[in-house]
């Protein structure tokens, strides 16, 4: 075989290798973009859900404080009705106030129409916490994916420059691990 023919075979093999490297870089970059987007969304979701959970708990506490104030006022009226000599007009006025206070106490406990009773607020806060926790479990996987894919791209570039297949193989493994980490970030299989 002449040196020209040998050079043509080396060039074809080299071109094929560089094509595979270019495809690996393109694929890794695409998965990196998806992982970056997933990680960004997971972080934003975790923050937003944490704020919503905190708001629901704060609203719950405000309702609880108001409800306690009405309970104290109702107890005071019960005490007055039991221990004081009242004329019928005073007694009727106190009983009307007591009925209003008891209605507010019940409304603060549960208000399904508006979703703003203590029961409904607690359910809402727990849902937001679950969503936050889910997003926080996703986020590290996207971080791992981003790091693995970036290293894969760098090693593939080194493989192209040095024409070393070892770098390509290592970058292929890292790229695959990055892809699997990205998938796990979305699906949380592991």
Look at residue 16 and tell me if it is in a domain.
no
Give the span between the Cα atoms of 41 and 34, in whole angstroms: 11
Look at residue 76 and tell me if it is in a domain.
yes
Query: Which alpha helices (H) appear in 84-117, and where do they start and end?
Result: 88-109
Look at residue 5 and tell me if it is in a domain.
no
50-98 pLDDT, tens digit per residue, is: 999 999 999 999 999 999 999 999 999 999 999 878 999 999 999 999 9
Q: Indicate the number of domains in the chain.
A: 1
Give ∠ CA 26-184-144 in degrees, rounded to 5.
Answer: 65
Look at residue 152 and tell me if it is in a domain.
yes
Look at residue 103 and tell me if it is in a domain.
yes
Look at residue 122 and tell me if it is in a domain.
yes
For residue 2, pLDDT over 70 is answered with: no
Mean pLDDT of the chain: 94
151-177 pLDDT, tens digit per residue, is: 999 999 999 999 999 999 999 999 999
Look at residue 6 and tell me if it is in a domain.
no
3-state class (DSSP) for residue 72: helix
Look at residue 162 and tell me if it is in a domain.
yes
């Amino acid at each position: 075989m002449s040196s020209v023919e040998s050079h043509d075979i080396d060039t074809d093999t080299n071109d094929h290798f560089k094509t595979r490297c270019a495809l690996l870089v393109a694929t890794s970059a695409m998965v990196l973009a998806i992982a970056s987007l997933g990680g960004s969304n997971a972080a934003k979701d975790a923050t937003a859900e944490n704020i919503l959970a905190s708001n629901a708990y704060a609203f719950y506490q405000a309702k609880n404080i108001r409800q306690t104030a009405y309970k104290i006022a109702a107890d005071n009226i019960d005490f007055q009705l039991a221990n004081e000599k009242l004329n019928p007009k005073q007694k009727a006025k106190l009983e009307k106030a007591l009925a209003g206070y008891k209605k507010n106490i019940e409304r603060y406990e549960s208000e399904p129409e508006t979703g703003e009773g203590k029961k409904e607020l607690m359910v809402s806060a727990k849902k937001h916490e679950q969503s936050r926790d889910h997003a926080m479990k996703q986020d590290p996987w996207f971080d791992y994916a981003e790091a693995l894919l970036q290293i894969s791209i760098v090693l593939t570039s080194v493989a192209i420059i040095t024409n070393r297949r070892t770098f390509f193989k290592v970058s292929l493994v890292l790229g695959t691990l990055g892809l699997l980490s990205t998938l796990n970030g979305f699906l949380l299989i592991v």
